[in-house]
Amino acid sequence: MIRARGLGRSFGTKRVLRDLDLDVGERDLLVVTGPNGSGKSTLLALCAGLLAPTAGELEVGVDRGRVGYLAHEPLVYRELTALENLELYGCLYRVPERRERIGMLLERFALWEARHERVSAFSRGMQQRLALCRTLLHDPDLLLLDEPYAGLDEAGAALLDAELGALAGERTLVVSTHEPERVAALATSRLALG
């Protein structure tokens, strides 16, 4: 699904990733660890197609529309409601039976009651749960999750544990995290950067 050879990425004179070889097969779960600034987020942004490599080769064997990307920012409009944000992304991603899918995700991540509230009124944890709904909305084949546990309380983290447990073995996942023990049992490979 993902193949990198000699992959490198620089920002100006700062080299964030260098000479990285990587193979992620279909239905694998790769855990990416490393200290701040080691290039975890850059690697995921490269895989998502948001950044271009400055060295080496990167092949991602899935269409743009089949990738689910969870970034540091929730990538939702703060002045729209949770429902309006998911409706917008559902339209752009051509999600079939959109309303049912949105309702199911909002229920699963305990946001149904808050669906008509603006995101600006959400706590950080609620924003992260909404971001997870956005990422999973189109049932992607490849999931790129950058610090998915960030901001989640224990209940939210448990919801995510259950979701990842259901997805592992069914979808390809790349999870960058400072809490690798949470996904250690599901991981098929591990990459330590930095």
Partner 1 sequence: MNYLSDVGALARKDLRLELRSRDTFLSMVLFVVATLVVFSFSLPAGTAEEASYGLLWVALLFTAILGLTRAFAAEREQRLLDGLILAPCDRSAIWLGKAIAVLAFLALAEVVALPAFALFFEPVTWEVVAAVVLANLGLAAVGTLLAAMAAASRARELLLPLLLLPLAIPIVVGGVGASISDDPGRFLGFLGLYDLIFAILSWASFEYVVTE
Using rule CB under 8 A, residue 99 touches partner 1:
no
Min dist CB 29 to partner 1, Å, is 21
Of 65 and 169, nearer to partner 1 (C-beta) is: 65
Quote the CA–CA distance of 5 and 68 in Å, as a whole number.
23
Among 5, 78, 124, 190, binds partner 1 (CB under 8 A): 78
The torsion of the CA quartet 169, 69, 46, 93, rounded to 10 degrees, works out to: 100
Rounded to 5°, the CA angle 166-153-72 comes to 75
How many whole angstroms separate alpha carbon 69 and alpha carbon 53? 18
Q: Is 59 in the site for partner 1 (CB under 8 A)?
A: no
Q: State which of residues 57, 63, 97, 100 lies at the interface with partner 1 (CB under 8 A).
A: 63
Kindly write down the DSSP assignment for every residue of 74-122, as one continuous string: --S-TTSBHHHHHHHHHHHTT-TTHHHHHHHHHHHTT-GGGTTSBGGGS
CB of 78 to partner 1, least distance (A): 6
Q: What's the closest the beta carbon of residue 44 comes to partner 1, in angstroms?
A: 11
Q: Which of 76, 82, 83, 152 binds partner 1 (CB under 8 A)?
A: 76
Q: Give the Cα separation of 124 and 172 in Å (integer).
A: 27
Binding site for partner 1 (CB under 8 A): 48-52, 63-65, 67, 69, 71, 73-80, 84, 87-89, 91-94, 118, 134
